[in-house]
């Protein structure tokens, strides 16, 4: 029988009311109570906030953490423990927590710190994320100039997300159209997974080194390496902030190790669609 993986959704999947359908499970209730003790009002915002509010990085990341972890607990209770896990961008933190590498409290504090750093960054660097479809990754890489535009998420053979500075958005989208592709601006508040975030990643690593890391109970595949976490977990998670998400490569590596079923935990089915399209 093939291995089973949980896929933890990332920023952009947030929707009002997410996790409301699993909030009554005891383990989820305890998680939400812990979060409320640390950041009062966060659960209410997740359940009743508007789409506009949830799209703000400072709120998106902690609410996505709670929703992802809540859905993972619910799915584990219903279907059993998976063999491995993969989190997309911000989803990597709840994936590590679910696997036991961090306690719920440490992981939630980490996601709050990550959100604070990235929120401040969006004030320092103005930009956006643009999904490019119908073009192979090599063609998208060629369209990026490495200064104002950077490949940020490798989502599939014909889908690559690009981090783009605000002033370069119009010109880059025009280049995509000229090359025969399609460009779609994503529902996030800045340009992420690019070198501009290196100072924030350095600060995040300092914070992560203050936490109590433990050996995970299952393999968690890292966005940075497309391989299971090993060695310096804090550095790997911090560098993810300023490096591309290697989702396609991670899925390929998991399949090579016998993973046959991928179960998305979180709101929506974005990652499920990416796996199916390849």
Fold of 127-185: Alpha-Beta Plaits (3.30.70)
Q: Which residues contact 141 (CB under 8 A, 6 or more apart)?
A: 151, 160
Residues with Cβ within 8 Å of 155's Cβ and at least 6 positions away in sequence, in order, are 131, 161, 245, 247, 248, 274
Q: How many helices (H) and strands (E) does the chain have?
A: 12, 8
**In Å, how far are 55, 92, 278 from 231, measured between CA atoms?**
33, 16, 29
- Cα four-point dihedral sign 91, 250, 97, 71: positive
Instruction: Say how far apart CA 227 and CA 198 lie, in whole Å.
Output: 22
What is the mean pLDDT of each successive set of 10 residues along the chain, which is 278 residues long? 93 93 97 98 95 91 97 96 97 98 98 96 93 96 94 95 96 97 88 96 98 98 98 97 97 96 94 88
Task: Yes or no: say if 153 and 247 are a contact pair by the CB < 8 Å rule.
Answer: yes
pLDDT of residue 185: 93
CATH code of the region 3-124+194-277: 3.40.366.10
Q: What is the pLDDT of residue 80?
A: 95
Of 175, 218, 165, nearest in space to 196 by CA: 165
Distance separating alpha carbons of residues 85 and 252, to the nearest angstrom: 13
CA distance 148 to 136: 20
Spell out the domain ranges in the chain.
Answer: 3-124+194-277, 127-185
Give the model's pLDDT for residue 205: 98
User: What are the distances in angstroms from CA 42 to CA 36, 50, 57, 95, 152?
Assistant: 6, 13, 13, 20, 28
- pTM (2 decimals)? 0.95
């Amino acid at each position: 029988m093939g291995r089973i993986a949980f896929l933890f959704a990332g920023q952009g999947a947030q929707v009002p009311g997410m996790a409301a359908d699993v909030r009554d499970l005891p383990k989820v209730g305890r998680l939400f109570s812990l979060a409320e003790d640390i950041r009062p009002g966060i659960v209410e915002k997740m359940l009743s906030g508007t789409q506009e509010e949830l799209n703000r990085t400072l709120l998106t990341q902690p609410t996505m953490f709670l929703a992802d972890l809540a859905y993972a607990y619910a799915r584990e209770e219903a279907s059993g423990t998976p063999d491995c896990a993969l989190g997309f961008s911000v989803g990597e933190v709840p994936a590590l927590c679910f696997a036991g590498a961090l306690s719920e409290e440490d992981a939630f504090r980490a996601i709050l710190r990550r959100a604070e750093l990235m929120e401040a960054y969006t004030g320092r660097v103005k930009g956006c994320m643009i999904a490019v479809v119908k073009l192979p990754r090599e063609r998208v890489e060629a369209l990026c100039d490495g200064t104002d535009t950077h490949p940020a998420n490798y989502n599939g053979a014909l889908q690559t997300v690009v981090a783009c500075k605000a002033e370069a958005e119009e010109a880059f989208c025009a280049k995509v159209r000229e090359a025969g592709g399609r460009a779609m601006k994503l529902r996030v508040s800045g340009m992420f997974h690019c070198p501009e975030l290196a100072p924030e990643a350095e600060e995040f690593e300092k914070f992560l080194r203050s936490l109590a890391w433990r050996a995970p109970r299952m393999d968690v595949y890292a966005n940075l390496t497309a391989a299971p976490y090993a060695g310096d977990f804090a550095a790997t998670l911090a560098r993810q902030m300023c490096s591309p998400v290697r989702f396609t490569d991670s899925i390929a590596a998991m399949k090579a190790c016998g993973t046959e079923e991928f179960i998305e935990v979180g709101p929506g089915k974005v990652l499920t669609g990416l796996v199916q399209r390849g």
